[in-house]
Structure 1
Amino acid sequence: MSRALHLTVLALCLVALVGLSSGGNAEAGRKMVGVYELKKGDFSIRVTNWGATLMSVVLPDSKGNLGDVVLGYDTVAEYVNGTAYFGGLIGRVANRIANARFTLDGKTYRLFPNAGNNSLHGGHRGFSKVIWTVKEHVGGASPRITLYYHSFDGEQGFPGDLDVYVTYELSTPYVLNVRMNATARGKATPVNLAHHAYWNLGGQGSGTILAETVQLFASRYTPVDAALIPTGRLAPVAGTPYDFRAPAAVGARIGGVPSGYDTNYAVDGADEGWQLRRVATVRDAATGRAMELWADQPGVQFYTSNGLSGVRGKGGKVYGRYGALCLETQGFPDAVNHPNFPSQIVRPGQVYKHHMVFKFSF
């Protein structure tokens, strides 16, 4: 059976399973694929345990009008067949690994190449393309949902078993926390989880993000070759189109970047330890919405959805190039092949941790 036919059959099977849940502990439906809502006043999100995917983020604008600010689909079945990683939890290793291979403790591991000769976002069946288990889904003052996935030894070529958790939680005022952790079992393994939400603060399907203002708290970036594999260097952003140290419109310098931004930035202060630090701010003048991102990872991938073209999303909206931006906090791409990059190796019994905080205002 071809991969495309397999995914189509799986999508049809999921249609029969998908349910809607808005509270409780989700015990009865934990082995099903469902859609779960977290709501705090006029601030709400929807999550599915297919790929631990964030399906929607709804919040007001400056006039009190509610809008969904992430791109995606209306149904889980569409996520199964989708190729854009809308809102997915990416792993075991996000971004690219050169030649789909790496050597660890003297042994060479060969991965699934799904981006030319390279591995991208964990392979053809990464963590955004599997069913997670709902461990907790509660309301109250801080509504949250926790999802779990067991990645087996050898999955997509990666060594060792890995127990992975992600928690989405809403807090006041208009704050979304995303907490990820993973524990290695039996063997050392690289781990680099990332969250792949596509943001448009003007509202999903409202047009491009070229007029949105972005500030990145990063003085350096990791240059790449033609296949988007890092060269191993860290270069200053000063004097280049990659410089967003001061707030600037996304479209202000994009003409100087071939194909648009798809760039890993080294977050300032990351070498001082693994604590939360401000990563980026985004503002949309038309709606008055703003987003501030904090995280504890050394890098952030700034992506301007260069590959979107005629994708039919939620409510029949059609997403095109530059229809959203992604801010994926992460370890540096291809770190397993660059000893000078911050290590992503997790030893047996060690716990990988990754915390993102999205603070919204309007």
Structure 2
Amino acid sequence: MARGGELFLAALCVVVASTTLALAASAGARKTVGVYELKKGDFSVKVTNWGATIMSVVLPDSRGNVSVLLVRDTVAEYVNDTSFFGPVAGRVAQRIARGRFVLDGKVYHLNINDGRNTLQGGGRGFHKVIWTVKEHVGAGDYPHITLYYRSFDGEQGFPGNLDAYVTYAVSSPYTLAVHMNATALDKATPVNLLQHTYWNLAGHDSGGDVLGHTLRLSASRYTPLDAEMLPSSGRVAPVADTPYDFWTPTPIGSRIRDVMGGRVVGYDANYVVDGEPGEMRPVAEVRDGASGRALELWGNQPCMQLYTGNWLSHAPGKGGKVYEKYAGFCLETQGYPDAVNHPEFPSQIIRPGQVYKHDMVFKLSF
């Protein structure tokens, strides 16, 4: 498996589709939100620069083509989305307890948008901003798009200016690579970016759930979370003999009734990936027996969040489809949740001039 950083090449900027939403980025300034396709043979991915969002991943099948992501009909639906259909979350993804942390002796207070806590970077995190398209090559030898966002000092309460980049690239056979990096410009700051797509290998329009998909995780440990989905104990525990054990291929739904993703039944669990953080290594394998489609995920982050769409309810999808609970699953590589408040976890702090790097590779087969 090639390292994610080796996958990305410079190219000319080519816009293939653009939909103006007349969104104000700041007083007197307006930006354009576009839809950009990456196509390699019969494999295609669509991305919008609203939230650096993956809108669809399309594979061929006997019926023609099918997206294996849960998808919306229009860009406007992504703008108004509250279920995180495909965006990048940041500056710090997952929850930060009580929306506060201490860094270099100073207390920082964040936007609180999940009960008493901060979730996915705050109410206007990276998923709710317009990113700048720096490069786009829609076809050819190496289709890819690079998106850029300057996060300002004090945004959602976080310290310092931060330059963030996300590159999506497709290659054969049926591989989607994701490379995220961020540079602290003038102050120390925590960074933990996350890509939040809902997969359903049976197809977004299958009408079913993903509980029959078999899942294998390269994770022998997890961080137990409390009722607010925080690792309040700071413990890392073995998955053996628990409902969190996916060390061998197991249907996602086989023990789902035994776990609580906060106040609802379902997985919303952080796993510690085996192997050396910073190195590309296998994270997860998922297979849908009915369609024969499979997904393999590699990544370089220490952890991965498994989420089974526990809060989906009457969510409108493409072509009139409606997504209910468990209609999709998310595999979100990441740092340890709430690490800014847990010195026992690996630090997510980067200092001026330092670069955060996060790579993922999704390999699909059928």
TM-score by length of 1: 0.91
Alignment partner, residue 67 of structure 2: 68
Query: Which stretch has the larger CA shift, 25-34 or 68-77?
Result: 25-34
Structure-2 change in CA distance of 1:74 and 1:340 (3 Å) = same
- Per-residue deviation at 1:27? 11
**Residue identity opposite 2:132 in structure 1:** T
Quick check: 1:132 aligned with 2:131?
yes
The alignment partner of 1:339 has SS state of coil
Please show how residues 3-42 of structure 1 align to structure 2 within 5 Å: 25-26=14-15, 31-42=31-42
2:14 maps to a residue whose letter is N
Q: CA deviation at 1:52?
A: 0.5
1:80: Cα distance to partner?
Answer: 1.3
What is the alpha-carbon root mean square deviation over aligned residues? 1.6
Alignment correspondent of 2:76: 77
Alpha-carbon offset, residue 290 of structure 1: 0.3
Q: Tell me by how many angstroms 1:257 deviates.
A: 0.6
> Unpaired runs of 5+ in structure 2?
1-11, 21-30
Contact preservation (8 Å) 1:194, 1:328: yes
The residue that corresponds to 1:246 in the other structure is: 248
Contact 2:316 2:323 in 1 (8 A): yes
How many angstroms apart in 2 are the aligned matches of 1:205 and 1:91?
29
- Partner of residue 349, structure 1: 353
Instruction: Report matched runs for 1:1-362 at 5 Å.
Output: 25-26=14-15, 31-61=31-61, 63=62, 65-138=64-137, 139-206=139-206, 207-230=208-231, 231-258=233-260, 259-269=265-275, 272-362=276-366
Distance in 1 (alpha carbons) for counterparts of 2:257 and 2:64: 33
Q: Which amino acid aligns with 1:39?
A: K
Shift of 1:157: 0.2
Letter in 2 for 1:114: N
Deviation at 1:65, TM superposition (A): 4.2
Deviation at 1:140, TM superposition (A): 1.3
> Which amino acid in 1 is paired with 2:244?
Y
Other structure's SS at 1:33 match = strand
Partners of 2:221 and 2:80 in 1: CA distance: 36
Alpha-carbon distance in 1 for matches of 2:153, 2:140: 38
Distance in 2 (CA, whole Å) between partners of 1:56 and 1:80 is 15
* Paired AA for residue 85 in structure 1: F
CA distance in 2, matches of 1:184, 1:27: 32
TM-superposed CA distance for 1:191, in Å, is 0.2
Higher fraction of helix: 1
Cα shift at 1:66:
2.1
- Partners of 1:56 and 1:28 lie apart in 2 by 15
Residue deviations 1:249-295, cap 9 Å, x none?
A: 001111111210000000001xx341101000010111110000000
SS at match of 1:50: coil
2:156 partner SS: helix
- The 1:219–1:153 alpha-carbon spacing in structure 2 relative to 1, beyond 3 Å, is same
* Amino acid in structure 1 at the alignment position of 2:73: D
Counterpart Cα distance in 2 of 1:187 and 1:151: 12
For residue 154 of structure 1, report the CA deviation from its aligned partner.
0.2
Whether the aligned pair in 1 keeps the contact of 2:72 and 2:78 (CA below 8 Å) is yes
Do the aligned residues in 2 keep the contact of 1:205 with 1:323 (CA within 8 Å)? no
Letter in 1 for 2:142: S
Query: How far is 1:60 from its partner?
Result: 2.5
Mapped to 1, the partners of 2:293 and 2:71 lie a distance apart of 19
Cα distance in 2 between the residues matched to 1:314 and 1:235? 40
**Match of 2:253, SS?**
helix
CA deviation profile, 1:115-145 (whole Å, cap 9, x unmatched): 0010000000010100000001113111000
Spell out, residue by residue over 1:292-335, the C-alpha distance to the aligned partner (whole angstroms, 9 max, x if none). Answer: 00000000000000000111111110000000000000001100
SS of residue in 2 equivalent to 1:218: coil
Q: What is the percent sequence identity of the aligned residues?
A: 66
Partner of 1:6: none
User: 1:205: how far off?
Assistant: 3.4
| Partner of residue 8, structure 2 | none
Q: Which amino acid aligns with 1:26?
A: V
> 1: distance between equivalents of 2:14 and 2:228?
45
One-letter code aligned to 1:305: G
Contact 1:43 1:59 in 2 (8 A): yes
The 3-state SS of whatever aligns with 1:136 is strand
**Distance in structure 2 (CA, Å) of the matches to 1:321 and 1:250:** 13
The alignment covers a number of residue pairs equal to: 337
Letter in 2 for 1:208: D
Gap runs ≥5 in structure 1:
1-22
Instruction: Rate the CA distance shift 1:28–1:226 in 2: closer, same or farther, 3 A.
Output: closer
- SS in structure 2 opposite 1:252? coil
